Amino acid sequence: MTCGSLFFYLLDYEDSGLSHLPVIVGMGGVNPAGRTSGHQAFRRTVLDVLPEAQQANTLLGLAALMRLASRDADERWHDASGQLLDAQTLVAQTRDHILNHTLIRRNEDPRFGAEGIPGNRRASLALETPLTFRLRRRELPDDLPPTWQVREIDRQQLEVTVPAGNMDVMLPEIRPAQVKAAGQLPTGFEPSQLYRSVHHPRGLSMSIFAASDCLGDSGLNWDTLRDRLDPDSVGVYAGNSIGQLDEEGWGGLLQSFVSGKRATSKQMPLGYGQMPADFLNAYVIGSVGTTGAALGACASFLYNLRLGVNDIRSGRCRVVIVGTSDAPITPEIVEGFRSMGALADDDSLKALDALELLTDSDYQRACRPFARNCGFTIGEASQFIMLMDDALALETGAEILGSVPDVFVNADGWKRSISAPGIGNYVTLGKACALVRDMLGEKALRERTFVHAHGTSTPKNRTTESHVFDVVARAHGIEQWPVVAIKSCVGHSQGTAAGDQLTSALGSFAYGLLPGINTVDSIADDVHAERLRFFQQPVAFEADASFINAKGFGGNNATGVVLSPNATERLLRKRHGEAALDEWRTRREIVRTRANHYHQSADAGRFDVRYRFGEGVLEGPELEVAADSIHIPGYAQPVSLNVDNPFGRLDED
């Protein structure tokens, strides 16, 4: 298809009234299972059933990610000390370490270690006699109690005398961590070390890596792609559920007064929840198109995906990058969830299995969706996908990993408490199933779909979510609906949870495998499992579609429909014809070659992290502004100002 014929085809396509199909052409990120691109993280969750060669490649890639090994330009492997080793020996030496330092495990953050979490306790000292102490001049409070007596010793030191009586103080203490299980990124992987990071919160460093990984996975040259598009036809929707709350973000800002530390100029702006989108626009792709972030608690990824899908379907955007990035493993956030009774703390885990002490293997089994359980396990992750309209994907030869025809969102209505589950999820899943039935047929819905459950591992979730699945399955005549609960492997990454689920679903399409819930021995008696199929080990399953389900605090329910590459190609054949697909397959070979080159480099620990700070900065006077367009230096195509007006003109009368 020539450029001219493609132009007229697009006009006919738009006049037909059909929506553009949002197809997934790239994915990237990182979670406790590893790197998203090339399905590395997915392969880690089904490692034991993979062929031996794929197991070895997965472990070698993880060894490079975790800085246990590296591969040189001659494709030779070296261990961390630089010693030259053959691949088989390296796999044997690192396998146990990799298995024990990926997925859910004992929290390795030193803030949660054996020494405990530093804190303070309020106390009132009853001074029977005056108390005298010395301190440096700059440590003296600006506003002194009126009874304090201060004497200068020298230019640096002062002597303070406090009279007898009551004195309120904060006494430092070390509190033992009550929650020690977490889904942390693989040990040794630090995204901030891969680019020129300057006091970036962890979540934003993860965003830079994840977005770069997504671009590399696509096999497309971003600058070339951007040059063929109106700059306003690119969108970015990315955020998280609770902002950046580590010390470099709002966490450090909020602690500054009580901790005695100074707030920095970066902590306030970098803490905002939409900052992953801002970082992506400013430092990764240089986009001037539409942007934003939708926050929906644990459903945030799907909320952002819905915005991107709507923009693609309507034609407002031709390319949209969607993602979330959450790094919530901080003492304050963990304590907040623990105080709600939402987390699997150590005492609850010991009571669950009648144990006196917890071992490393007990922490690895902390998250048990749909089994006897006691709370979720917090995790961290960053996940990004690139969406294109189907015509552009065919035109560019993009790899099609799947497609997202729609995402459904509904609230719970009246609730007893803000954190209690409600009725909205019945509506979202019901709509999603109806769409798949109408697109693929009843047989495909019943026999070739599976559910990626929210599956948090709380007693309330196992009953309420399974009931949603069971009654919807009954309504559609589904007998044995496969249920995947990936949080058993990677934990609950809050707003990014559905991103973990979606990228895992893409792995299932690629490998024909569904991850098992390997942390459970049996399904709990109160789970509604009559029409559901749970399994402990990975199972072979060829699917046409997956339902990505999310149930967030406050009644934020969402269900996304993801079609497999095979089902998507069948749909594209019907929409565009076999000749168009043949031309696409020819162009795709070049894209695949570039993507494979990126995957091989990433598997060797050589990451092409894209971070362009201060490049191509424009402030306004450089623009060429006309009545119907704006030309931006550095962008090949102008921004069209011909906007849709559905309201008509007043001066026509």
Q: What is the pLDDT of residues 593-645, one digit of tens each?
A: 999 999 999 999 999 899 999 888 999 899 999 999 999 999 999 999 999 88
Predicted pLDDT at 183 = 98
Question: Could you say which DSSP state residue 378 is in?
Answer: B
Task: Based on the residue annotation, tell me whether 97 is a catalytic residue of this protein.
Answer: no
Predicted pLDDT at 5 = 40
Catalytic, out of 298, 317, 367, 374: 298
First to last CA, the chain: 44
Task: Based on the residue annotation, tell me whether 467 is a catalytic residue of this protein.
Answer: no
Strands (DSSP E) along 283-365, which ranges?
290-292, 319-326
Predicted pLDDT at 42 = 98
Helix or strand run (H / E) with residue 122: strand 117-127
Predicted pLDDT at 11 = 42
Predicted pLDDT at 17 = 56
Strands (DSSP E) along 257-392, which ranges?
290-292, 319-326, 381-389
Predicted pLDDT at 1 = 41
Predicted pLDDT at 262 = 85
What is the DSSP secondary-structure string of 606-653?
Answer: -------TTTT---STT-EE-SSEEE-TT-SSPEE-----TT--GGG-
Strands (DSSP E) along 535-620, which ranges?
539-540, 545-552, 556-563
Q: Which among 502, 13, 15, 26 has a CA at the least distance from the CA of 225?
A: 26
Domain ranges of the chain: 31-106, 112-175, 181-576
Predicted pLDDT at 3 = 40
Q: Using an 8 Å Cβ cutoff, are 538 and 46 in contact?
A: yes
Predicted pLDDT at 652 = 63
Catalytic, out of 20, 200, 452, 454: 454
pTM of the predicted structure, to 2 decimals: 0.93
For 181-576, CATH number?
Answer: 3.40.47.10
Which residues pair with residue 557 across a beta bridge? 410, 551
Six-digit token pair at 497? 């949870």
Spatial distance between the Cα atoms of 427 and 610, rounded to a whole number of angstroms: 40
Six-digit token pair at 482? 């496969």
Ranges of residues in the chain with a pLDDT under 50 are 1-16
Task: Based on the residue annotation, tell me whether 492 is a catalytic residue of this protein.
Answer: yes
Catalytic, out of 39, 101, 492, 599: 492
